[in-house]
Amino acid sequence: MSRSWVTPPTGWADIGVDVGMLVLIEQRSGTDPHLADCQRPMDCTELVASLVADRVLVFGSLPPHGRDLDLLVRPAEAQALAAGLAAHRFERSGRMWARFRDCGVDVVELTAAEAWRLPPSELEALFTEARPLEASENVCRPAPHHTLLILARRTMREGPELRERRRARIDAELGEDRHAFEIARDRAPQWRASSSLIALENAYRSANPIQARVRRRAIAEELKGRRRWLSARLRAWRAMLRRPRRGGVIAFSGLDGSGKSTQAARLAETLERLGSPASVAWTSVASHPPWLGIVARSIKWGLSSIAGRGGGSPVADGSLGEGSGLDEAGKAIRSRSTLLTFSWSMIVTLRVALAVIRATWPALLRGKVVVCDRYELDSQAHLLYQYGEARSFRVQLAILRLVSPRPRLAYLLDVSPETAFRRKQDYTVNQNARRGRIYREKCVELGVRVIDGERPAPEICAEVAREAWRALA
């Protein structure tokens, strides 16, 4: 994933704001000092080459451009790879093997050759005619005509449009062998891909979308085999229906400077490599849009003026101490009024509730994983810290619970007040100590897991990514 959307740490450029709450910025690699020791995901080709004694086929995007290594393997190589990958600390979920290292993940996906249901002679030709990659004689890519047949079958399930990366791959294969389509047409009946190949070539040469009935007919041809015509047709309809992805929310909470933004950005990047579309949402109850700041200052000025005429202005009588101003005066007056506190905290709550709805629900409905930089725990902690721990805020908290999707995983990155202040000076050490105590008290109630945020960031990245992968499997 080349781009992640995260909340703005120091030194990153702000490029947009949604409702004054959802901040999107382009991540610039190498700017985060917490990730100086992070290793990036490696190309697993050499590892695979060292584990197999016969050829395996890379049938997806060729390394190092793909997010994972898609391999077609025969039984002996499948067994050798399973043992070897496990020995190299890879973990398995279905066909996918993943190894979490620091802030990245290495991914290998194994597909059994028999699953393609090709005739033995054609399966043997697929491996024999393959072209070795540079790393090893045994790690190969399909010959150009076989690549076109593979693309033809896969494209029918992807939708009506021929994707640009597919078109670029076809350009490359034809550049290597300009007769690739002709050879593929001769082989297509053995692949049960005659209709698929015709549809692919037409879409490639005309740039027109592939009609649904053409795709259904092509998929039915592929699936038919020993099945009856009606059964193949029904399975083709089913194959064209896009299965809803399993989305969810993963939340990071903690003091400013605890590393939430770092972890959220890296987790989203790792989930993308694991095949789970992810986005990062930043919603903060403490961040106010300009219009709300203007309203707040107007109200504070009015309240301070009224109190001043009554002889009770905190600004006028100096009760707030030297250097205090309008903000302190407004807070002092508001803190003495239950009605004012309730009303203002309700405005803030409704604003953040709207931001949470916009930042999470649309993405969830599209099956994406939403990684939240700040979530319900942060909102509760801020309300209690800012407007008084003695107050219950039952209505406000009920609203936040109502609009916030239940997270699959939620983490509190716990750091010392001194560490938080050293990383970010928005609050004093004493203020961080009080805020940290509130966080720890509320996290149990919300089922948030506490992680020692003082640990190296890459170590936390790997632990969280592994848990997220298992939770989303």
Q: Domains in the chain, start-ordered, CATH in brackets?
A: 45-240 (no CATH), 248-472 (3.40.50.300)
Is the pLDDT confidence value at 65 over 90?
no
Inter-axis angle of helices 194-206 and 212-224, nearest 10: 150
Work out whether the CA dihedral 254, 257, 263, 264 comes out positive or negative.
Answer: positive
Is the pLDDT confidence value at 171 over 70?
yes
In percent, the amount of the chain with pLDDT more than 90 equals 56
Which 8-state DSSP code applies to residue 102? Answer: T
Q: How confident is the model at residue 266 (pLDDT cuts 50, 70, 90)?
A: very high
User: Which residue in the block uniquely carries the two structure tokens 């006028």?
Assistant: 316
| 175: its two tokens | 């550049």
Pairing of strands 104-112, 69-73: parallel
CB 103 within 8 A of CB 38: yes
Q: What is the pLDDT of residues 3-44, one digit of tens each?
A: 333 333 333 333 233 333 333 333 333 445 455 445 555 568
Pick from 135, 155, 226, 165: nearest CA to 196: 155
Cis peptide before 277 (omega within 30 of 0): no
Is the pLDDT confidence value at 326 over 70?
no
Question: What confidence score (pLDDT) does residue 286 get?
Answer: 58
Question: What confidence score (pLDDT) does residue 471 get?
Answer: 92
Work out whether the CA dihedral 39, 45, 46, 47 comes out positive or negative.
Answer: positive
Give the mean pLDDT of 375-392.
88
Q: What is the pLDDT of residues 206-238, one digit of tens each?
A: 989 999 889 988 888 888 765 566 666 676 666
For the ranges 116-125, 205-214, 220-229, 382-391, which has the lowest average pLDDT? Answer: 220-229
Strand partners, 409: 250
Average pLDDT, the chain: 81
Question: What radius of gyration do the chain's Cα atoms show?
Answer: 29
Q: Phi first, then psi: what are they for 3, rounded to 5°?
A: -140, 135
Question: What confidence score (pLDDT) does residue 344 get?
Answer: 80
Size of the chain in residues: 473
d(CA 401, CA 58): 46
For Cα atoms 468, 472, 473, give the angle at the middle one, nearest 5 degrees: 115
Question: What confidence score (pLDDT) does residue 8 get?
Answer: 35
Strand partners, 71: 58, 110
Burial annotation 298-329 (CB, 10 A radius, 16+ → b, else e): ebbeebbeebeeeeebbbeeeebeeeeeeebb
Q: How confident is the model at residue 282 (pLDDT cuts 50, 70, 90)?
A: confident
User: Which residue in the block uniquely carries the two structure tokens 């053995």?
Assistant: 190
Higher pLDDT, 138 or 283: 138
Cis peptide before 64 (omega within 30 of 0): yes
Question: What confidence score (pLDDT) does residue 115 get?
Answer: 92
Give the mean pLDDT of 51-56.
96
Higher pLDDT, 318 or 162: 162
DSSP annotation string for 117-153: ---HHHHHHHHHT-EEETTEEEEEE--HHHHHHHHHH
Question: What confidence score (pLDDT) does residue 341 get?
Answer: 81
d(CA 166, CA 89): 33
| 70: its two tokens | 């898609």
For the ranges 169-173, 225-229, 253-257, which has the lowest average pLDDT? Answer: 225-229
Q: Phi first, then psi: what are they for 210, rounded to 5°?
A: -90, 125
Is the pLDDT confidence value at 293 over 70?
no
For the ranges 109-113, 120-124, 252-256, 272-276, which has the lowest average pLDDT? Answer: 272-276
Is the pLDDT confidence value at 402 over 60?
yes
Give the mean pLDDT of 140-169.
93
Q: How confident is the model at residue 111 (pLDDT cuts 50, 70, 90)?
A: very high
Q: How confident is the model at residue 267 (pLDDT cuts 50, 70, 90)?
A: very high
| 278: its two tokens | 């992810």
Is 272 strand, coil or helix? helix
CB under 8 Å to 147, separation ≥6 — which residues?
141, 169, 173, 180
| 424: its two tokens | 């970010």
Pick from 112, 164, 116, 127: nearest CA to 155: 164
For the ranges 102-116, 195-209, 320-334, which has the lowest average pLDDT? Answer: 320-334
| 286: its two tokens | 């403490």
For the ranges 9-18, 57-66, 309-318, 418-427, which has the lowest average pLDDT? Answer: 9-18
Question: What confidence score (pLDDT) does residue 225 get?
Answer: 61
**Stretch (H or E) spanning 385:** helix 376-387
Strand partners, 452: 414
Is 345 strand, coil or helix? helix
Give the mean pLDDT of 334-351.
78
Pick from 169, 155, 160: nearest CA to 207: 160
User: Which residue in the block uniquely carries the two structure tokens 């149990």?
Assistant: 444
Question: What confidence score (pLDDT) does residue 62 get?
Answer: 86
